[in-house]
Amino acid sequence: MKKNSHFLILLLFVFLHASANVTLPTIFSDGMVLQRNANAKIWGWADPGEAITILTGWNGKEYKVTPNNQAYWSVEVMTPEAGGPFGITIKGYNEIQLKNILIGEVWICSGQSNMEMNAGWGIANGDAEVAKANYPDIHFFTVSKRASDSPQQDFPGSWTVCTPESMKRFSAVGYYFALRLREDLKGVPIGLISSNWGGTPAEIWMSEKTIAQNSVVQQAAAALKPSQWGPTEPGRAYNAMIHPLIGYRIAGVLWYQGESNIGSAVYDQTLGALINSWRNSWGYNFPFYYVQIAPYRYGEDHPGGAIIRDAQRKVQNTIPNTGMVVTSDISTIDDIHPKDKKTVGTRLANLALVDWYKTNNATVNGPLFKSTTVRNGKLYVAFNHAQGLYFKNKKTSLFEIAGTDGQFYPALAKIVGNEIALSAIKVPNPVHVRYAWKNTDQADLFNAAGLPASTFQSE
């Protein structure tokens, strides 16, 4: 009996000692990338009242913090311009040494399978790109698929350096985004956090509280049907795959999703709510760049794909510091997973370089619907980013116009300066216009930068 009691005391001692150790979320691990020129938050858990010291290797500065009564602690450390590798030492009852830390630009890559899609899936020129993917200044973190009905504090994962092996399993869009970014930013490390789940609707990627506060989005969420590909209940992926990241300083977000919301008439409000949800969670209005879904055979008895594309177009007009890339010129209508991910990632990076980093002033948007006017029985359509308009095949059949009755007819289209003049015999008094309004319509209107016009319908 005495021997057993000694054994129990020993177990208790070991347990108490172990529970006192400082622990960190997995996002804080060897190889992580911290956002440059920022007050980067670092947090973890330890015994309440335990004295913890954080030593940052780039400047030798010490930060001291004490966990609260929930065993949680956090501290903000000032990061330098860019560089590395550096180390961070965290001391409590135990000591953690984090190595190979880079200081640079951190972006979250999220959405469904087109963002998740990697070179191993068979992207265009994937094998050639894999072979040369040795970039020590690009680091990846992949969040595992998981769902939860309550917000989580951590998830499994680790940072990896970009090598042919790691790149082959990472988001191809994210990878090409990083490649283009490093060209202009010259020597600044890039950290990418991939959190994706194929076949999932947007509603699972925002908090349940956000949905509950918006009756329109709430109704859309209630209409979702169960799926074999993943959860459809509100907040499930947000709780498990986004919430543990909140507070980790980022430059911005890349988003590629929408195919699983086909059928929604309010996707613009859904996506807008998601963007605001994330920004409110992080506490600042980071740039949010997203990909317009590509044409695909969703069914010819409805324009569901076109409606989502138009909804995505509207978001950049209503939510500040957002941007959209159009993909209807680089895809085939029989593949919901377009293989050309390089153009997508490059266009996203070009948006960031012009709008956020301001390293150049190139045109990075295709023609975007602006307004209409009626002159001499013709409907004239004006666009933003309309310099040098041209039709790919000299003419187009993608414009339709309607009168007050809302009945659309194919229109004869002619480029007049930076506008499109539209007319139809059956519509003597045109009021409305739409462009590329079939699910499979591929853009044929471009500007001088060679960028395609977005699907649109006038109000």
Domain ranges of the chain: 12-100, 104-356, 368-457
Strand positions, DSSP E, 318-377: 322-325, 368-375
Three-state DSSP class for residue 104:
strand
User: CB-based contacts of 9: which residues, under 8 Å, 6+ apart?
Assistant: none
Instruction: Specify the pairing of strand 419-423 against strand 378-384.
Output: antiparallel
- pLDDT score, position 20: 61
Give, in order, the Cα–Cα distances in Å from 300 to each of 48, 296, 307, 330. 61, 10, 13, 21
- pLDDT score, position 1: 44
- pLDDT score, position 2: 44
Topology of domain 104-356, CATH: Rossmann fold (3.40.50)
Report the alpha-carbon distance of residue 357 to residue 196 in Å, rounded.
25
- pLDDT score, position 459: 82
Report the alpha-carbon distance of residue 100 to residue 85 in Å, rounded.
5
- pLDDT score, position 3: 45
Are 453 and 367 within 8 A, CB to CB? yes
Does residue 67 have a cis bond before it (omega within 30 degrees)? no
Q: What is the pLDDT along the chain (459 residues), one digit of tens a residue?
A: 444 444 443 333 344 444 569 999 999 999 999 999 999 999 999 999 999 999 999 999 999 999 999 999 999 999 999 999 999 999 999 999 999 999 999 999 999 999 999 999 999 999 999 999 999 999 999 999 999 999 999 999 999 999 999 999 999 999 999 999 999 999 899 999 999 999 999 999 999 999 999 999 999 999 999 999 999 999 999 999 999 999 999 999 999 999 999 999 999 999 999 999 999 999 999 999 999 999 999 988 899 999 999 999 999 999 999 999 999 999 999 999 999 999 999 999 999 999 999 999 999 999 999 999 999 999 999 999 999 999 999 999 999 999 999 999 999 999 999 999 999 999 999 999 999 999 999 999 999 999 999 999 998
Helices within 20-95 (DSSP H only): none
Which pair of structure tokens corresponds to residue 234? 């509100």
Nearest Cα neighbor of 257 from 246, 241, 281, 245 is 241
Nearest Cα neighbor of 200 from 155, 117, 259, 158 is 259
Report the alpha-carbon distance of residue 376 to residue 326 in Å, rounded.
33
User: CB-based contacts of 255: which residues, under 8 Å, 6+ apart?
Assistant: 110, 111, 115, 271, 288, 289, 290, 291
Please report, in angstroms and rounded to a whole number, the separation of the first and last CA atoms in the chain.
Answer: 83
Which pair of structure tokens corresponds to residue 330? 């680089």
Instruction: Work out the number of other CB atoms within 10 angstroms of the CB of residue 139.
Output: 26
Taking domain 12-100, whether its CATH number is 3.40.50.2300 is answered by: no
Report the alpha-carbon distance of residue 165 to residue 143 in Å, rounded.
17
User: CB-based contacts of 135: which residues, under 8 Å, 6+ apart?
Assistant: 161, 162, 178, 179, 182
